[in-house]
């Protein structure tokens, strides 16, 4: 097997037998983020980008000995605090969304296991009640016949 064959491309003798579409759709590995979480994440990325630009300008103006260095250092410090808030905002928003809309059900999910156990206990209790009612009905029928 040639190097390119395992990747789905043509072998060394050309593209003679290769018939592939231009667009190959692959299933998403992860689901799309909820809108609120995505908005918070975009905000955090923009704030972090602005913070990095401010820090770079502060560093370069310090090297150049410019008057702009001190105000840029102060704004970079403030912007770092705001960027930290932005990242925490993403985390809190994600946690709130998970709490309001339920746990993502994955095979290792603890919540799924607890739900399964509760469901099993409810079924067992219901069947026990049905069995008890059936036994009571049988007992009353026999007493009325006698």
Query: Is the pLDDT confidence value at 17 over 80?
Result: no
pLDDT value at position 55?
95
Q: Is the pTM of the predicted complex or chain greater than 0.75?
A: no
Question: Interior CA angle at 22 toward 19 and 24, to 5°?
Answer: 95
Lowest mean pLDDT among 58-67, 96-105, 118-127: 96-105
Between 110 and 131, where is the model more confident?
Answer: 131
Rounded to 10 degrees, the C-alpha dihedral 95/96/97/99 comes to 90
CA distances to 28, 29, 42, 94, 97 from 110, in Å: 24, 22, 30, 18, 18
- Predicted confidence (pLDDT) per residue in 69-91, tens digit: 999 999 999 999 999 999 999 99
Q: Calculate the average pLDDT of the chain.
A: 82
pLDDT value at position 19?
67
pLDDT value at position 108?
61
Give first-to-last CA distance, the chain, whole Å. 87
Question: Contact 44/90 with Cβ under 8 angstroms?
Answer: yes
- With a CB cutoff of 8 Å and minimum separation 6, the contacts of 103 are 109, 111, 112
pLDDT value at position 123?
95
pLDDT tier for residue 113 given thresholds of 50, 70 and 90: confident
> How buried is residue 44: exposed, middle or buried, by Cβ count under 10 Å (0-12/13-18/19+)?
buried
């Amino acid at each position: 097997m040639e190097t390119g064959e395992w990747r789905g491309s043509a072998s060394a003798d050309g593209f003679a037998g290769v018939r592939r579409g231009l667009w190959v759709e692959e299933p998403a590995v992860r689901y799309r983020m909820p809108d609120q979480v995505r908005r918070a994440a975009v905000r955090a990325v923009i704030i972090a980008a602005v913070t990095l630009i401010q820090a770079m300008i502060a560093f370069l103006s310090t090297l150049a000995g410019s008057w702009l260095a001190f105000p840029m250092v102060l704004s970079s410090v403030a912007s770092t605090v705001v960027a930290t808030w932005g990242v925490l905002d993403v985390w809190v928003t994600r946690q709130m969304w998970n709490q309001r809309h339920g746990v993502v059900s994955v095979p290792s999910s603890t919540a799924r296991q607890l739900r399964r156990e509760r469901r099993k206990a409810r079924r067992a209790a219901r069947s026990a009640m049905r069995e008890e009612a059936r036994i009571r009905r049988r007992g009353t029928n026999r007493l009325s016949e006698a």
